[in-house]
Each structure stands twice: as C-alpha cells, then as structure tokens.
Amino acid sequence: MSIKIGIYGYGNLGRGIENAIKQNEDMSLVAVFTRRDPATLKINTPDALVLRADEVENYKDKIDVLILCGGSATDLPVQTPQMAEMFTVVDSFDTHAKIPEHFKNVDEASKKGGNVALISAGWDPGMFSLNRLYASAILPEGKDYTFWGKGISQGHSDAIRRIEGVKNAKQYTIPIEAALEAVRSGECPEFTTREKHLRECFVVAEDGADKARIEKEIKEMPNYFADYDTTVHFITEEELIRDHSGIPHGGFVIRTGKTGLNKEHNHIIEYSLKLDSNPEFTASVIVCFARAVKRLKDEGVSGCKTVFDIPPAYLSAKSYDELIKTML
C-alpha cells in the first residue's frame, strides 16, 4: 500500500518533495497545503489537492506523513511541534545550534499526539551528520572536517541583497583546495575560518549605485563575510539570470584517524556530495526518512527522532532479503 504524503509549504523544497515522490513507487502525494491562495498555485501532480494550510487538520486520517517545508528561522520552530501533535512528520530544521531545543519541543508534542517526528533531515544536517557520526565512532582517535560547496548560500545571498544599491545577488561558498589536501594528508591541521572557505559574490547593482561602497560593505560585513577572503563581481541582471540561476551545492565530510598498537597507521574516510539542486537533493533525503518514520509509527513508536535513530534498512523501498542479497 502506498505511503500517503502531505506537503506543508510549497517553495523550492516543497516542489522538490513533489518530484521526489514521483521517483518512489511506494509513495503518493495526497495534498499540498499552502499559506497562499490555493487557486493561484499550480502543482505538477494532477491527482493531488491544493489546500489552505488551515485545512490540514481535516486530513489527519488521510495522510501518513506530513512533510514540513517551511524555513528554519521562523516557520519550523512553530510548525513542527504544532503539526507533530496531529501527524507523523519530517522536517529539515537546519539551525544547528538550536537543534537540542527544537528536539525537546517536538518530542513533547509528538509524544502527546502518539506520533513520530523526525527533525533535521537533509544533507547537513542529515547525511553529513551521519557521516560525522559513523566516522568518529570508527576512528575515535582522529579529527573530522566539514567543508561546504561549491554552492549557493541562500543566507549570504540574502545578506548582500539587503545592502543599499543592490538589485540582486548570488553568493557561492567555495572550499579551499589546499585545505582539503592538507586534511587528506592526515596531518590534522587546524584552520582559521579564512583558510577553509572562500566567498565569491555576483552582484547586480542598481543604476548609479556606488559599487566601491557596496563592495566594501559586503567584504566588511561581520559574521557573513569579514572573516573570509571574499571576491565581488558586478554583473548585469541578464548575466545573473543566465549564469547563476541554479541552486547547486555540496561539500565534504572527511575524518582522518590513527590505529595500531603505536598509532602507526593512518586512515582517511571521505564523504562528498556534488549536487545540481540543493533543494531537490534535500527533498530526496527527506522522502527516504518519511518512509522510515511511517514504519516506526506502524510499529507503535512515538516521539522525536533524528537520522541517528533510523536503521538504514528502513530508508529503502527494497525488501530486507533483497538488500542483503544485492547491497551487503
């Protein structure tokens, strides 16, 4: 029987979920819930409904897993606990520092509702977290490193757009190749922020804007740019649309560590992603975890879970026999 999915919020991530469901034969999309006027929303699944967000509570018995596609800043801290009381849910909450607090709130709500709620699915947090955990468990005496990019950082692009005189902007986070190589050498280097990543900005200035001032404001912006080597390119809106419309991303999780009676042997574990579409890949990960939480819910489990709790076999549509025959 098909796993019935609801999508709550229909931005880039919500559309990615819709596409990912089409790639998984054991799933079907029941409805998209939106804060916009449903009449204005065109989706790509003919037999799915488009409904107002406040109608979601009428679908408690018609949806197995509700996937929350709002933002981490203001949406998910409210929506995930709220929805977890009514539904088994998955979110992609990605404010790392606030995960323990979010976990606690969602755990209470989901237990109250007798539901499973998996938070922080995606690739970081998500697959990168899993790789940090596996690698550090395997090599207790070692050090791990996460690099991001090359890819578009939405937060940094937004920060540039808030500068006076900026019409549009895209910012790429780029890992520094020399730093990656130093890590892979097994020397366990320590890096400053500047030594790990570069920031490259493509900016469309408004007519007559003071480009020198804009460049200075970007490069000196605390937290976002001041600690990095940042390059700024001024381009036209046409160039921005032509060359920088994608949402690529990716990165590396590398752990190096030592084994042996005298720590004489080095080992390198490396996991990397190269993604043409950040939201679509995130969606593809979330959809696997939706399959897993459905199974946990069917087993009578409730409460907040993370990627760390899920037996890997639960993510696959394949039978266990097939998995051990073809993948082990």
Residues within the interface to a copy of itself (CB under 8 A): 16, 19-20, 23-24, 44, 96, 99-100, 103, 120, 125, 127, 129-134, 136-141, 184, 259-261, 264-277, 280-281, 283-285, 288, 291, 306-313, 315-317, 320-321, 323-325, 327-328
- Least distance CB 122 / a copy of itself (angstroms): 11
- For a copy of itself, the closer of residues 36 and 318 by Cβ is 318
Which residue, 205 or 283, is less far from a copy of itself as judged by CB?
Answer: 283
Sign of the four-CA dihedral 122, 124, 128, 130: negative
Nearer to a copy of itself (CB atom), residue 28 or residue 272: 272
Of residues 145 and 225, the one with the C-beta less far from a copy of itself: 145
Asked if 242 and 202 touch (Cβ cutoff 8 Å), the reply is no
> What's CA 36's distance to the chain center, in Å?
23
Q: How far is the CB of 194 from a copy of itself (least distance, A)?
A: 23
Min CB(259)–a copy of itself separation in Å? 4
How many Å is the Cα radius of gyration of the chain?
22
Residue 126: CB minimum distance to a copy of itself, A: 9
Q: Do residues 32 and 47 lie in contact, with contact meaning Cβ atoms separated by under 8 Å?
A: no
Residue 31, CA distances (Å) to 19, 36, 50, 253 in order: 13, 14, 6, 36
User: How many angstroms separate the CA atoms of 230 and 201, rounded?
Assistant: 7
251, HSE (Cβ side, Cα atoms, 13 Å): 26
Tokens of 290: 């939706």
Of residues 63 and 283, the one with the C-beta less far from a copy of itself: 283
Outline where 220-277 has alpha helix (H): 237-243
Q: With respect to a copy of itself, which residue has the nearer C-beta, 112 or 274?
A: 274
Helix and strand numbers (H, E) in the chain are 11, 14
Query: What minimum distance in Å lies between the beta carbon of 1 and a copy of itself?
Result: 18
Task: For the CB of residue 210, give the shortest distance to a copy of itself in the complex, in Å.
Answer: 38
